[in-house]
Each structure stands twice: as C-alpha cells, then as structure tokens.
Amino acid sequence: MKPKIFAAGLSLAALTPLNAQQKPNVVFIVADDLGYGDLSCYGQEKFQTPNIDRLALNGIRFTRSYSGTTVSAPSRASLMTGLHTGHTPIRGNKEIKPEGQFPLPAGTFTLFHLFKNAGYTTGAFGKWGLGQPGSAGDPNNQGVDEFYGYNCQLLAHNYYPGHLWYNQTKIAFPENDNGQFGAYSQDLIQAKTLEFIDKYNGDPFFLFVPMVLPHAELVVPEDSIIQKLRGKFDEKPYKGTDSGPAFRKGGYMSQEYPRATHAAMVTRIDRYVGQIIEKLKETGVYENTLIIFTSDNGPHREGGGDPDFFNSNGIYRGYKRDLYEGGIRVPTIISWQGKVAAGKENDFAFAFWDYMPTFAELLKTGSPENTDGISILPTLLNKKEGQKKRDYFYFEFQELGGRQAVIKDNWKLLHLDIRQEGLYELYNLASDPSENHNLVDLYPQKAAELKEIMKKARTDDSNWSLF
C-alpha cells in the first residue's frame, strides 16, 4: 500500500508539546554534490575545511549516512516528505518550461509543515527544485515562510544569474547581463540566510540552507580564496558553454582552473558554515540550536569536475547518478551544544527519510504515520537502548536506464539497466565497502531475498515508471 503524503498523516500521540523556551532552533545545511571525501574531517588532503571540522568536533560525525537518492530533486523530495524514492511524489529530475521542476503535489506534508505546526518560523535559502514558481510545489505553498534563491535547479547551474526569487518576487541582477560577473548568487543567498537568523532569533525557527555549491558550473568570485588555490594543482582546463542559448541557462562555462575552483567552492562552503555558526553565537541562540550539515548526493563529474583527483568519494565506488555507495553515502555532521555528544564518530546507518520522524520526536508533535523513516533522536542523544532498527533501505533512480538498490544489514543488491536487459549485482558492505566483488552468483538465496524486498518496496506512479 502506498504511503499517503498528505497533511492528515500525523498520528498525535499522548505527548506534551514543547513550550517556547524548550523549542530548539534547527539549522539544516545541505551542500550540492559534495562528496563523502570532500571535507578534511572525512579525509580530504588537498585542502582544508576548518569550520566544518570544528562542527564535527562539537558533535557527531556519521560514517554511514545516506541521502535520499543520487540526484537533487528526488533526494530533496525524500528529505522533505520522510519517504524513500519508491514512494516519494518526485522520483527524478523532470524539467518544467520555462523555469522549474516537477512539483510536490498540493497537500504534501513536508518538514516545513511539521515545524510550522509546532509554532516555528520557517525559511529556505538556496536551491529549491521541487516545483516551478506559483505551482503547488512552490516553496511558499509547501510551508516555507521566507524563501530566497533559485526556484529552478537547472538555472542554479550558473552562479551569476539573471534573477533569483524572494518569495513570489523575481529579483533581477542587471549587473550580470551580457556575461558580466557582478553578483555571485551564493554570496547573496548567504547574506539572506544570516538576515533570517537576525530577524527571527527571538522565536523558534527552522532554517533550511540548500547551498548551490559545489555543483557545476565551476566558478567563484576573484578573491583571496581562489587566489591562494590557483596554481596549486596541475590543471585540465574545461571548455564549456560561453555563448548561445544555454549560456547561463543551464550550460557550464569554461574554466581554466577547474581543480582550484572546486577546492575554492568547498572552501567557500566552509566559510559560510563558519559565518552561520558565528551568527548563531552572536544572537545568543547557538546553544539552543541543532545544526545538521550534509550533502544531497555524491560528487559530480561535470563542468570540469574531477572527483578522482580529490578522492571526493573516499573509498567508495561511484559518483552522482550511481547507486553505488559513492553516489548515495554522504558526509553528515550533527551538533547541538550540551545535547549531542561532542567529538564522536558513529556508524549508525540512516537516510534522508529518517529526518521527518526524528524532528517529530524532537518537537513532541506526534509520530508521522505515513513515513518510511525511523527516528534517530535516541542515537543523537546517546540513548541507544531506545533506538529502533530499520529492516532495509531502498533507493531508485529514473535515468540512465533505471536503477534500484536495496540494503539490508550489510548486504546490498543493485538492479541496473532496468529498461534494457537488466542485471543484478550483490555486495557485502562489511567485507567489501568499495563494492569491488559482485557476489550475485555465489549467494543466489540472498539475492532472491533482496529482489523480493525490491519488488515490494516501491509503488507504481504514472509519472515515474521504472518498468
């Protein structure tokens, strides 16, 4: 039976809601295409991310955290709805002309609704990609009080845009016309993010920060960050789109220093994270703020991106668009002063769809009936005896012939080229985390068990058919 996605799907348990003083703020930062190994606290050696490293020292660094899937829109839909991609209303990147993507349906119950029902002010600053302007999926129609950034994830490929959106108002940037480099979008988005904290620090808030970095195209402002990194690496210049209809409408510009620019983009993320933390401290709300930092999927190889050079996926096989671990296992750091243990590493396995029930338990608003997730709050608060275990993880990807993956315990089954002849691969992640040894012929019974789970894990949807 397909889980419902509508607002009626909260079962109000016999819980006492939090009062205003008890309500923690939540800051949820999602980088775009940041690989598992792109942070120095996860093994990056070619550049440093000191602010994010400090966040990890003040919280838990998770080593087996999964995104919703391996590309932006369905991964974020999983995060927003608490459903895996066998049940989410968005299961792929589907463009809507002239600007935007396939929308979340009207009546979808999102994280923003959960927080608003608990008395929170909600904000989203960065890349949306869950419904074109004015549609049912528009952020203001999905529980977001204040939105600033790109509605369309295709336009978010370009960092010197013609416009961004502030709620329903289109903000133009003539200083970027005719290929000029006047206003850098992520700097503008960061300023609005910090303004939100200034504006609402007297009330509980849920701040969602879906950064557009380090997704291609590869470009940063000419400042001290790139100046220190340029010339540090052997480069392979990238020839991209510098004119024509796709220029600054989804195409990636040329970049003479793609490696230095990638490092500068991640370094810039680190600076932004440091600024957010400082703003929380400056406004006196840091100690009452739960901070999450993660990524929406694995590293990209577009626009001159070179994840192999940076070892961006660590020991894990695969990239963005793969359902191997490198495409879906993401860095995740969770910090909350005095509540979450500091300086810990944790290998508890969880995924994007677990945040909905986690926040429901945190807010004491009741348990979502229609979710594929489990609350990880006991793990965060070091109450391991209360931590539920899940039966399996399910992922699907609609492009490149169709792909599925199921993980149960340490066994992982992949179904690839589904719309062609189809093939299966089986791996044991405990003994082979890099997925080098396909065991499907050696363990047919295990493969058959996971195939059965795979069949039952998804529901058909006329908009998203794998078969």
pLDDT at residue 20, as a whole number:
58
pLDDT in tens, 62-102: 999 999 999 999 999 999 999 999 999 999 999 999 999 99
User: How is 293-357 classified by DSSP, letter by letter?
Assistant: EEESSS----TT--HHHHTTTTT----TT--SHHHHB--EEEE-TTTSPTTEEE---EEGGGHHH
**pLDDT > 90 in the chain, percent:** 93
pLDDT of residue 10: 45
The pLDDT score that the predictor gives to residue 12 is 36
Q: Give 191-209 pLDDT, tens digit per residue.
A: 999 999 999 999 999 999 9
448-456 average pLDDT score = 98
Q: What is the pLDDT of residue 384?
A: 82
Strand partners, 289: 25
User: And the tokens for 262?
Assistant: 């990638």
pLDDT of 258 over the 70 cut: yes
Show the CA angle centred on residue 390, arms to residues 387 and 395, nearest 5°: 135
In tens, the pLDDT along 367-395 reads 778 999 999 999 999 998 899 999 999 99
Q: What is the pLDDT of residues 127-143, one digit of tens each?
A: 999 999 999 999 999 99
Give residue 18's pLDDT.
63
Residue 2, pLDDT > 50, answer no
Q: How far apart are CA 310 and CA 165, in angstroms?
A: 33
- Whether the model clears a pTM of 0.85, i.e. scores above it, the answer is yes
Q: Residues 286, 280: contact at Cβ < 8 Å? A: yes
pLDDT at 17: 58
Could you tell me which CATH class the domain 400-467 is placed in? alpha beta
Rounded Cα distance between 177 and 163, Å, is: 10
Tell me which fold the domain 23-391 belongs to: Alkaline Phosphatase, subunit A (3.40.720)
pLDDT tens column, 199-236: 999 999 999 999 999 999 999 999 999 999 999 999 99
In this model, does residue 8 exceed pLDDT 60?
no
Detail the DSSP E strand segments found in 342-402. 344-346, 350-351, 367-368, 393-397
Task: Please give the pLDDT value at position 25.
Answer: 98
What's the confidence (pLDDT) of residue 119?
Answer: 96
Looking at the chain, the whole-number percentage of residues with pLDDT higher than 70 is 96
Q: Can you give the pLDDT at residue 14?
A: 38
* Residue 399: Cβ within 10 Å count: 12
Helix (H) or strand (E) segment spanning residue 447: helix 444-457
Kindly report, residue by residue over 424-450, the tens digit of the pLDDT: 999 999 999 999 999 999 999 999 999
| 144, pLDDT greater than 60 | yes
Q: Which of 323, 337, 236, 226 is nearest to 288 (CA)?
A: 337
For residue 19, what pLDDT is reported? 62
Q: Is the pLDDT of residue 4 over 80?
A: no
For 324-351, what is the mean pLDDT? 98
Please give the average per-residue pLDDT across 236-251, as a whole number.
97
Secondary structure of 218-239 in HEC code, one letter for each residue: CCCCCCHHHHHHCCCCCCCCEC
Residues 6+ away with beta carbon under 8 Å from 459? 1, 2, 86, 87
Order across the sheet with 289-295: list the strands. Answer: 169-172, 163-166, 146-150, 121-127, 205-210, 25-31, 289-295, 332-335, 59-62, 344-346
- Where exactly are the structural domains of the chain? 23-391, 400-467
108 and 6 Cβ atoms separated by less than 8 Å: yes
DSSP SS3 for 359: helix
Q: What is the pLDDT of residues 17-61, one digit of tens each?
A: 566 558 999 999 999 999 999 999 999 999 999 999 999 999 999
Q: With contact defined as beta carbons under 8 Å apart, do 188 and 212 qualify?
A: no
